[in-house]
């Protein structure tokens, strides 16, 4: 996990979580990127964008209301 | 229930929501709401401001039940599906002023983005200038977003803190039903228009039912008329845009079927033909909405989900409606007022300053 890029997009308004994800995916180009968000809407938006860019997406719910969206390619 | 929810959260969600709202809005007009104003978040919030006496424009005062319906519908939906999440702290004061100027811009045009599309679907071609302005305002907002614009993070807050908007919404509904007199008739709130657009309304139960349903649908599907254009341009994502297209198409067909479609520029209901101001009003509005992260309908929905920053934006719109009428900034069917220019320049100066200055490092 140590080599995965982590984006903390918690608490950001639309469309910033997706813009942050976009920048991170462009930087990583492959491997694993983790995006932290705190609303279901942001989780969906990040996932939809990542899939449209050819990344695989799954997410885990942490105890504190954070969703960890894990993107791999 | 589960399968309906799955569909609303799928890629068809915004389309279904848009189509249903597009059918319901002209039905509300048919049952009494003002022309091409089946649903208008700006106009209805303005009417509520009038009913509460925040402005004294006698023709636009009514406690529109659609607006509290949106908030309560969204709240119930968010609560049931585990998305009720109180949060706040993302530049609330800036959002308050964005709400004020978004409302002033919308009242120079005479409608929010929802009504701009409904006016178009009803054959009011003046809406085209407004929609062009909306696109222009969103485009300016997008330029700021590309440069790293941010109002900063919100943070989770106590579970109860998100309840105030739904409770206030219920309070407004109680005022509507009870219609208490706080003093001399006509001189004290609650004010109800006896003529003009404020006196035109669909039956309470129907308007409230539509509000609750639309609040529910929009909460599930994230329907947003500003996000639609923004995501299309910035992310090449048509997810929300398809919802707006379905909204316009359904409203057009329904208006046609009900005999409400009247194409032209002149004599359109609650509209004026000053195209420069139709355009500029929505530039201001579109920019303010984009900086705040969503259209006025979406802000209402998010306030129901517990988003305190969206709630502050909504309260800014309420105050903005009072300012717009008290300072003669709001247009009438005769056109824009001489003060529209000053309001536009002030609003744009504020929004552009916010756009340039707010670059919080994430």
What is the pLDDT at residue B359? 86
Side-chain-side CA neighbours of B322 within 13 Å: the count stands at 12
Alpha carbon distance B227, B286 (integer Å): 10
Cα angle B311, B314, B320 (rounded to 5 degrees) comes to 145
**Residues in chain A closer than 8 A to B9 (CB atoms):** 44
**Residues in chain A closer than 8 A to B90 (CB atoms):** 11-13
- Per the CB < 8 Å rule, is B227 touching A22? no
**Residues in chain A closer than 8 A to B231 (CB atoms):** 15
**B344 belongs to a structural domain:** yes
Residue A2 in this model has a pLDDT that exceeds 60? no
**Residues in chain B closer than 8 A to A18 (CB atoms):** 235
Q: pLDDT by residue (tens digit) across A22-52?
A: 999 999 989 999 999 999 999 999 999 999 9
Nearest residue of B to residue A44, measured between CA atoms: B9
- Per the CB < 8 Å rule, is B145 touching A16? yes
B66-80 and B204-221 helices, crossing angle to 10°: 40
Residue A7 in this model has a pLDDT that exceeds 60? yes
Disruptive mutation site among A5, A15, A54, A67 for chain B (greatest number of B CBs within 10 Å): A15
* CB B265, CB B129: distance < 8 Å: no
- Encode chain B (362 residues) as per-residue pLDDT tens digits: 788 888 898 889 999 999 999 999 999 999 999 999 999 999 999 999 999 999 999 999 999 999 999 999 999 999 999 999 999 999 999 999 999 999 999 999 999 999 999 999 999 999 999 999 999 999 999 999 999 999 999 999 999 999 999 999 999 999 999 998 888 877 889 999 999 999 999 999 999 999 999 999 999 999 999 999 999 999 999 999 999 999 999 999 999 999 999 999 999 999 999 999 999 999 999 999 999 999 999 999 999 999 999 999 999 999 999 999 999 999 999 999 999 999 999 999 999 999 999 986 65
CATH number assigned to the domain comprising residue A31: 3.30.110.40
Please indicate if any CB of chain B lies within 8 Å of the CB of A37: no
Residue A71 in this model has a pLDDT that exceeds 60? yes
Considering only CB atoms, A11 lies closest to which of B9, B155, B224, namely: B155
Residue A1 in this model has a pLDDT that exceeds 60? no
- Per the CB < 8 Å rule, is B9 touching A44? yes
Q: pLDDT by residue (tens digit) across B253-274?
A: 999 999 999 999 999 999 999 9
Full domain range(s) for residue A40: 5-72
What is the pLDDT at residue B361? 62
Distance of CA A50 to the CA centre of its chain: 8
Full domain range(s) for residue B52: 2-357
- Per the CB < 8 Å rule, is A65 touching B156? yes
What is the pLDDT at residue B360? 67
- Per the CB < 8 Å rule, is A15 touching B239? no
**Residues in chain A closer than 8 A to B83 (CB atoms):** 39-41
* CB B294, CB B226: distance < 8 Å: yes
Our count of domains for chain A comes to 1
- Per the CB < 8 Å rule, is B362 touching A65? no
Residue located via tokens 């308007």: B207
- Per the CB < 8 Å rule, is B235 touching A39? no
The CA distance from A37 to the nearest CA of chain B, in Å, is: 11
- Per the CB < 8 Å rule, is A15 touching B235? yes
- Per the CB < 8 Å rule, is A14 touching B227? yes
* CB A59, CB B103: distance < 8 Å: no
- Per the CB < 8 Å rule, is A13 touching B145? no
ipTM: 0.94
Alpha carbon distance B110, B119 (integer Å): 10
- Per the CB < 8 Å rule, is B222 touching A11? no
The CA distance from A10 to the nearest CA of chain B, in Å, is: 7
What is the pLDDT at residue B48? 98
CA distances for B185 relative to B46, B58, B172, B182, B190, angstroms: 21, 13, 19, 8, 9
Please indicate if any CB of chain B lies within 8 Å of the CB of A56: no
B40: nearest Cα among B198, B255, B276, B253: B198
**Residues in chain B closer than 8 A to A13 (CB atoms):** 90, 150-151, 154, 292-294, 309
- pTM exceeds 0.80 for this model: yes
Please indicate if any CB of chain B lies within 8 Å of the CB of A11: yes
Structure tokens at A50: 């990542």
Our count of domains for chain B comes to 1
Most distant CA atoms of chain B, gap in Å: 57
Which A residues in the span 17-36 are in contact with B, Cβ-Cβ below 8 Å? 18-20, 22
**Residues in chain A closer than 8 A to B142 (CB atoms):** none
């Amino acid at each position: 996990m140590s080599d995965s890029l982590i984006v903390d997009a918690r608490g950001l308004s639309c469309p910033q979580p997706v813009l942050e994800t976009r920048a991170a995916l462009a930087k990583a180009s492959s491997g694993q990127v983790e995006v932290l968000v705190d609303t279901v809407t942001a989780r969906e938006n990040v996932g939809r964008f990542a899939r449209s860019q050819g990344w695989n997406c799954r997410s885990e719910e942490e105890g504190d209301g954070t969703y960890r969206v894990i993107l791999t390619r | 229930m589960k399968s309906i929810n799955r569909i609303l959260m799928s890629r068809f969600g915004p389309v279904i929501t848009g189509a249903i709202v597009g059918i319901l809005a002209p039905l509300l007009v048919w049952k009494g709401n003002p022309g091409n104003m089946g649903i208008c978040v700006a106009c209805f919030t303005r009417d509520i401001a009038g009913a509460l006496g925040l402005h004294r424009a006698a023709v636009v005062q009514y406690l529109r039940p659609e607006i509290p319906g949106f908030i309560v519908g969204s709240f119930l939906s968010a609560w049931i599906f585990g998305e009720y999440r109180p949060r706040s702290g993302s530049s609330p004061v800036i959002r308050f002023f964005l709400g004020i100027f978004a409302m002033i811009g919308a009242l120079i045009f005479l409608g929010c983005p929802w009504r701009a599309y409904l006016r178009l679907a009803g054959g009011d071609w003046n809406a085209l200038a407004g929609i062009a302005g909306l696109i222009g305002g969103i485009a300016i907002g997008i330029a700021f977003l590309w440069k790293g614009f941010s109002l900063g993070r919100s943070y989770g807050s106590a579970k109860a803190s998100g309840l105030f908007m739904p409770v206030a919404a219920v309070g407004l509904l109680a005022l509507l039903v009870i219609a208490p007199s706080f003093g001399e008739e006509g001189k004290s709130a609650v004010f109800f228009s006896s003529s003009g657009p404020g006196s035109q309304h669909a039956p309470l139960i129907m308007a409230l039912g539509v509000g609750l349903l639309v609040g529910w649908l929009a909460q599930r599907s994230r329907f947003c008329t500003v996000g639609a254009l923004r995501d299309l341009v910035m992310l090449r994502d048509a997810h929300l845009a398809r919802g707006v297209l379905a909204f316009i198409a359904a409203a057009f067909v329904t208006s046609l079927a009900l005999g409400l479609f009247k194409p032209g520029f002149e004599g359109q209901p609650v509209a004026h033909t000053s195209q420069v101001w139709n355009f500029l009003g929505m530039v201001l509005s579109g920019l303010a909405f984009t900086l705040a992260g969503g259209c006025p309908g979406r802000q209402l929905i998010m306030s129901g989900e517990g988003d305190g920053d969206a709630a502050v934006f909504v309260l800014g719109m309420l105050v903005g409606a009072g300012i717009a009428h008290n300072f003669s900034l709001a247009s009438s069917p005769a056109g824009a007022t001489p003060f529209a220019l000053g309001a536009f320049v002030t609003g744009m100066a504020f929004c552009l300053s916010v756009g340039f200055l707010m670059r919080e490092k994430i």
